[in-house]
Chains A and B, each alone.
Chain A
Amino acid sequence: MAEDLVLDTAIRDWVLIPLSVVMVLIGVLRHIVSKLMRSSQTPDAKIVREGQVMLRARNLRTAANFIPSKAFRARKLYYCNEENGLLFVPKGQATNPQAQMFSDPNMAMDMMKKNLSMIIPQTLTFAFVNFFFSGFVAAKIPFPLTQRFRSMLQNGIDLSTVDVSYVSSRSWYFLNLFGLRGLFSLILGEENAVDDTQRMMQMGGGFGFDPSKGLSVEKDNLDITQHDWALPNFEHHAEDVLKKVVS
């Protein structure tokens, strides 16, 4: 089963390289189109304020040991007070970010546009690959694979005796899909619209920035924080520093 098939170099010239070039070009095209189609999001004042409150509360938590305990306690009360504390969000008002996402027409349109711009080129390119480049062995993968991958990697090749390492061009397409991400970040800068895999990972997790949940989380964190004033230690450190300076 381990005979070496000799693959025509013409395959390399006319299949592998053009396919990569086409994918790069399509990626660049998508990036440009997405830039043109991006609608400007006017941030809501309330959301900005909540974001800033969270930042300030987080600063308070991290650097709490640097201010006197009276000041810390005053601020903690200011934030966590049951009735009019900054971080307190009454149960009914807590805006569900998911519902907000779908009801807000702008955001829904944005998401749809992003999804479409991802799906359509992928489908088109896939069909293109299948139409033009199917039915022959395109490349040999340098490591051995099990038989399970045969159906995925060898779709056009109907010979069951061929080693699974010889794959069709569909697998070259998939390889390029995931591999060109690095190339795109070099050419197009860090934030490019072609980063599908990143977005696919994001879709599973939360949607960006959910303010109300964030606020109650911050409030709980702040309630827990204890104040351990670091300044007296600084006095001792200062003595040591000065001893070194004076000596």
Chain B
Amino acid sequence: MAMAPRKPRNREILFDSVIALVFILVACVDLCDGATVVDVYRLIQYDMSGVPFGSRLASLNHHAASLHFSPHADLSRTVLLIPLRELNMSFVQEYIVASKPLGGLIFLLPQMFNSENKGGVGSNRDDGNKDLLKNVLAELEQILIHTNLPYPVYFAFEDDNIDNVLLDIKKNDASGQPATATTGGYKFVVSATEPKKVGSPPITNIQGWLAGLKTDGDSHQLPTIAIVASYDTFGAAPALSVGSDSNGSGIVALLEVARLFSLLYSNPKTRGQYNLLFGLTSGGPYNYNGTRKWLQSFDQRLRESIDYAICLDSIGSWENDLWIHVSKPPENAFIKQIMEDFSSVAEDLGFQVNLKHKKINISNSRVAWEHEQFSRLRVTAATLSELSTAPELLESTGGLIDGRQFVNEASIVRSVKLIAESLAKHIYGHQGKNVQIFADNSNLAVNPSYVRSWLDILSRTPRVAPFLSKDDPFITALKKELEDHTDEVHLQREVLDGMFTFYDSTTAKLNIYQVASVTFDLLLLLVLGSYLIVLFSFLVITTRGLDDLISLFRRPPSRKVKTA
């Protein structure tokens, strides 16, 4: 009949649709997120000459605790959520330096260190101890960079959500119950892939050439003056290393000097008889590796034609003193010339420039200042900086504490004036005369809004070299800016030398879940089981009678009684 074949077909269709529905439902496995999702930034992970440093893991799935944990708790499966305000160095020493086992660490930084935060608004707490916090963070950063931590370490910024979570966690901890699988609490989950090595970390050097005035019949090549600044940074959290002072201030000063001299050089009547070479180098924190490769790419004639090079390093937060660091002895004629030019201009502008001499040790691979790379190739060079002593390796390289609010654009403006006037003195030969070429209110004045806008952009761009690909839009922007101010721009693409190896995975999202303990679920199961049993008994009694209920449990004996 017609019914028989139709039934199986209907059943098949039903079966197929049920299968499809099951597949759809199974696919919706991980659709729900935690109540709170926070952006977190991972501590850097790198190897230096094979020795591992930094945080070696990225994914996290543990219960959370605060600093008020009970002293004998086992923390190897717990994440500690630590606000910077409550951090004390004894804890750091005890747990981090002594390598005690931990499930993970999350540091909560005040909003004032957040470069995305405009103007430092957002924290209504007392930031009177700003300097104290800055020092604590600086110390913490140095310790973290030089320690091997076999667990994930993340940085996050304070905001309402995570502050509430922290309060809750503190309350739980104070009641003596650490969060584990049986007692409930908060669970922190970061799902990140295993960090992989960054294959060939790229370094890109950008150079701009501004040609001087060549009078006809001039058989000698014109002398060149180089102005150089390194643009990359290194810090505890590579996604947050914006390096406003170190070396954002140097980059901004270089761009402004380039702009001013391009105005002067645009008119052949005011073009000097010196070529100007502007260099934005990468690989600064790693012993100025990029600068060395850049210099090695020069051809011999160019290298010999450089009269001197001025390197800029951190000129954004000084008050009254700047230092010129040199490696050639101060009696050298060129060094004397440089010092004379700079100090006379500085005197006119109302501050002081000091000379500091540090000999290079050829056998030591440590390159503390950029000018040392020039000196190793026999080019006279000096570094202009607000730092009086040479920083150690991976120190003062634009880390967490180097934010926009700690840089003073007025200092940068003064530095630009100093550099521009001193160079002009040398180029146009106004030795000894009190002439101001880049006077205020002239059309060659230093433009503070140019300085400010570039400083703002730089303070929002993390620039750790291994994570800046060679086609990064930031590098393209620098190239375009130099093209506006110079005649020729070249990009030199290299690979960072072998001593450093970096690992990726620098940002992630932290999911915070409030979980119930297993005992709660068991209790619920018990309650539901008893509810269903009571319901069952109630329904049997009301519809079939009490005897039926009893008979459900006593059937076998009653049969025996009957047969007997």
A interacts with B: no
Q: Which residues of B contact A (CB under 8 A)?
A: none
